[in-house]
């Protein structure tokens, strides 16, 4: 799947925001407060469709949904060699931490080239079917016969495709002290209830453990990238497993106490740096963030990555390597970054850049460099890049429109 065009309506500063994504790697640049992050947050709503558990009946839906915020995002997709026009309406609340909780989603789509221009609505039950299939609680052949159709199969693939994106922010991996010094597994199965929500540090350690335990080729690639032969950040990462007996008690009828014996598996991560064995929470912020970003860039199997300000807390020498890694991975997946760094722009071409500004009445607006500059100014920019400097210097010295 590849997103070709995005149209965000009524989401924070994105009142009527349209952007084209012609290349697999695109960078959003602009001043503070113009809405770069809001574009990424808007796209992140698609990851929360499968968490929508409140499917309302027609009788009460209108009254309930009227109390919620609503946003419509339209996409043009290249999916399974077809051009898909998608209309998604999200009903949600935003909590005190500025996190959106989606309560209801309405999705319609149309396949380009079909005789009918009518949009097909995706039933709410599709999300429940996807959950059952993903948890191996049912197979497609076990679904009721009316649901075992090519259209339902296509809708399942479509919804899973558009929700397969990941978001990594400038501050997600800040403060390594939040990182756990151990992970508890229940009977050798990860206790997933401890890893949901916003516990991104715990999730990173667990994801790293899964790659380590599974002898993943990407884990070796990760170690080579961050190790002595690569960025020289660390020497090694290891996990030690410890099985610890534990017991609990249950009071039965009549006041009898039953002791329940079981075991817990404790996983302890360690990182070797300059010959010292450290816990992850002892690493510097820059080292920890770089490890996490490199790991997910290499290991994230989703088709779209959103990366907000990769330059934060990272030395220029390391940033150069991370950007090269991002450019390399964009050959295989779609990546959208936001940045304030002229150094990031130095490694990109004008075709990779989207200029973001904000207008008083219509909110966040996005333009490519070629559409923002006159043909003569664009020619001057090309000549400057060929003979004098790079894109970051041009941005810093003379800037673009709306800056």
On whether residue 321 sits in a domain, the answer given is no
pLDDT of residue 195: 42
pLDDT of residue 97: 84
State both tokens at 29.
């640049």
pTM metric for this prediction? 0.89
In terms of domains, do 87 and 154 share one?
yes
In terms of domains, do 226 and 284 share one?
yes
Is there a contact between 87 and 72 (Cβ–Cβ < 8 Å)?
A: yes
In terms of domains, do 183 and 284 share one?
yes
Q: Which of 241, 268, 298 is where one domain is finished?
A: 298
CATH code for the domain of 364: 3.40.50
On whether residue 330 sits in a domain, the answer given is no
**DSSP 3-state of 257:** strand
In terms of domains, do 22 and 158 share one?
yes
On whether residue 245 sits in a domain, the answer given is yes
Q: Which of 298, 315, 334 is where one domain is finished?
A: 298
Nearest to 326 by CA among 336, 341, 316, 313: 336
In terms of domains, do 10 and 143 share one?
yes
pLDDT of residue 83: 97
In terms of domains, do 102 and 189 share one?
no
Q: At what angle do helices 217-226 and 200-213 cross, to 10 degrees?
A: 120
pLDDT of residue 398: 67
> 59: domain range?
2-164+346-397
pLDDT tens for the chain, 403 residues: list them: 999 999 999 999 999 999 999 999 999 999 999 999 999 999 999 998 865 555 555 555 667 788 889 999 999 999 999 999 999 999 999 999 888 999 889 999 999 998 788 999 998 889 888 888 888 889 989 999 989 999 999 999 999 999 989 999 877 888 899 898 998 876 434 443 344 444 788 889 989 998 998 866 788 999 999 999 899 999 999 999 888 877 677 777 777 787 777 777 889 999 999 999 999 999 998 899 999 999 999 988 898 999 999 998 788 888 888 999 999 999 999 999 999 999 999 999 999 999 999 998 899 999 999 898 888 988 888 888 888 888 988 888 766 755 4
In terms of domains, do 83 and 104 share one?
yes
DSSP 8-state assignment for residue 283: S
In terms of domains, do 160 and 180 share one?
no
pLDDT of residue 323: 93
In terms of domains, do 55 and 102 share one?
yes
On whether residue 339 sits in a domain, the answer given is no
On whether residue 319 sits in a domain, the answer given is no
On whether residue 91 sits in a domain, the answer given is yes
In terms of domains, do 100 and 201 share one?
no
Range 8-13 contact pairs with CB under 8 angstroms and sequence separation of 24 or more:
8/39, 8/42, 8/71, 8/73, 9/71, 9/72, 9/73, 9/74, 10/70, 10/71, 10/72, 11/38, 11/41, 11/42, 11/45, 11/71, 11/73, 12/38, 12/41, 12/42, 13/38, 13/358, 13/363, 13/364
On whether residue 328 sits in a domain, the answer given is no
| Number of compact structural domains in the chain | 2
Compute how many other C-beta atoms are within 10 angstroms of the C-beta atom of residue 321.
17
On whether residue 156 sits in a domain, the answer given is yes
Nearest to 350 by CA among 29, 32, 78: 29
pLDDT of residue 131: 85
């Amino acid at each position: 799947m590849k997103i070709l065009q995005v149209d965000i309506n009524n989401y924070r500063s994105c009142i009527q925001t349209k952007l084209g994504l012609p290349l697999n790697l695109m960078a959003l640049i602009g001043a503070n407060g113009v809405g770069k992050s809001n574009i990424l947050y808007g796209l992140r709503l698609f990851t929360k469709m499968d968490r929508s558990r409140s499917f309302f009946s027609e009788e009460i839906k209108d009254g309930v949904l009227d109390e919620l915020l609503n946003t419509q995002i339209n996409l043009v997709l290249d999916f399974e060699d077809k051009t898909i026009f998608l209309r998604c309406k999200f009903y949600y609340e935003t909590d005190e931490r500025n996190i959106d909780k989606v309560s209801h989603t309405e999705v319609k789509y149309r396949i380009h080239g079909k005789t009918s221009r009518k949009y097909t609505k995706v039933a709410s039950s599709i999300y429940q079917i996807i959950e059952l299939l993903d948890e191996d609680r049912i197979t497609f052949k076990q679904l009721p016969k009316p649901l075992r159709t090519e259209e339902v199969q296509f809708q399942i693939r479509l919804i899973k495709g558009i929700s397969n994106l990941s978001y990594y922010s400038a501050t997600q991996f800040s403060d390594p002290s939040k990182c756990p010094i151990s992970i508890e597994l229940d009977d050798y199965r990860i206790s997933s209830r401890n890893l949901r929500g916003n516990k991104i540090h715990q999730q990173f350690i667990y994801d790293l453990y899964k790659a380590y335990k599974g002898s993943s080729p990407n884990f070796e690639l990760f170690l080579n990238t961050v190790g002595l032969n690569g960025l020289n950040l660390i020497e090694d990462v290891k996990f030690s497993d410890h099985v610890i007996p534990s017991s609990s008690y249950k009071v039965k009828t009549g006041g009898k106490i039953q002791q329940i014996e079981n075991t817990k598996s404790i996983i302890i991560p360690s990182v070797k740096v300059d010959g010292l064995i450290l816990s992850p929470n002892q690493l510097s912020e820059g080292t920890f963030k770089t490890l996490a970003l490199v790991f997910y860039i290499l290991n994230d199997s989703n088709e779209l990555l959103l990366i907000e300000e990769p330059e934060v807390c990272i030395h220029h020498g390391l940033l150069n390597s991370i950007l090269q890694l991002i450019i390399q991975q964009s050959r295989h997946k779609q990546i959208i970054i936001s940045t304030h760094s002229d150094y990031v722009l130095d490694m990109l071409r004008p075709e990779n850049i989207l200029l973001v500004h904000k207008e008083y009445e219509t909110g966040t607006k996005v333009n490519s460099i070629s559409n923002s500059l006159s043909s003569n100014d664009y020619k001057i920019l090309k000549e400057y890049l060929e003979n004098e400097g790079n894109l970051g210097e041009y941005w810093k010295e003379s800037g673009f429109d709306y800056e």
